[in-house]
Structure 1
Amino acid sequence: MSKVSLKPLADRVLVEPAAAEEKTASGIFIPDTAKEKPQRGSIVAVGAGKKDEPMTVKVGDQVLYGKYAGTEITVDGKDYLIMRESDIFAVL
């Protein structure tokens, strides 16, 4: 897990997306142009939450999120997603 100097505000979380699948279950390699955007990742940083809604996820949690959830950002040369906690579907 990465150590990031970025601190999300309010109910936002910083997620490091999992790597895209390199090959199918049957062993066929997937070219870069056909790779699906990952919908799974690990939480790297969390905000403090809203006044009446504390955060339910924590750093290190593996989560599932929507295909188009969050905003892509780059910090120290690594790609991350920053999204609201409500964009997270489940904790694995």
Structure 2
Amino acid sequence: MKVLPLNDKILVERLEAETKTLGGIVLPDSAQEKPKQGKVLELGEGKALDSGKRSAFQVKKGDTVLFTSYAGSEITVDGKEYLIMTEDDILAIVN
């Protein structure tokens, strides 16, 4: 199944959580924090402007982004977890 976000929404796949600390300590699942990084998979058409046009996104498909802790809504499709969020939830693009 394919998910296509509407309007100014963005579909993001969260990156895997770190399983080790910088010091080499292995973290159990219960101690791992959900990562605040993800990969942009799909974009909506953009926010509708008063002129009838759509605003352009600053991010594009394939970008790795940082987002806020409580960004978006979590969805599960075919057993995989994704986030649908607005561009306002994205803090930065990671190169």
Residue ranges of structure 2 left out of the alignment (5+ in a row) = 50-54
CA distance in 1, matches of 2:12, 2:47: 19
Which stretch shifts more, 71-80 or 49-58? Answer: 49-58
Residue equivalent to 1:91: 93
Residue equivalent to 1:39: 36
CA distance in 2, matches of 1:17, 1:68: 13
TM-score w.r.t. length of structure 1:
0.91
Residue equivalent to 1:80: 82
Instruction: List 4+ stretches of structure 1 deviating above 6 A.
Output: none
CA distance in 1, matches of 2:67, 2:15: 11
Aligned with residue 12 of structure 1, among 6, 9, 13: 9
- Structural RMSD (CA): 1.1
Q: Percent identity?
A: 52
Superposition deviation, residue 51 in structure 1:
2.5
Superposition deviation, residue 37 in structure 1:
1.1
CA distance in 2, matches of 1:57, 1:7: 16
Greater radius of gyration (CA): 2
Aligned with residue 59 of structure 2, among 57, 60, 67: 57
SS at structure 2 position matched to 1:86: helix
Residue ranges of structure 1 left out of the alignment (5+ in a row) = none
The number of residue pairs the alignment matches comes to 89
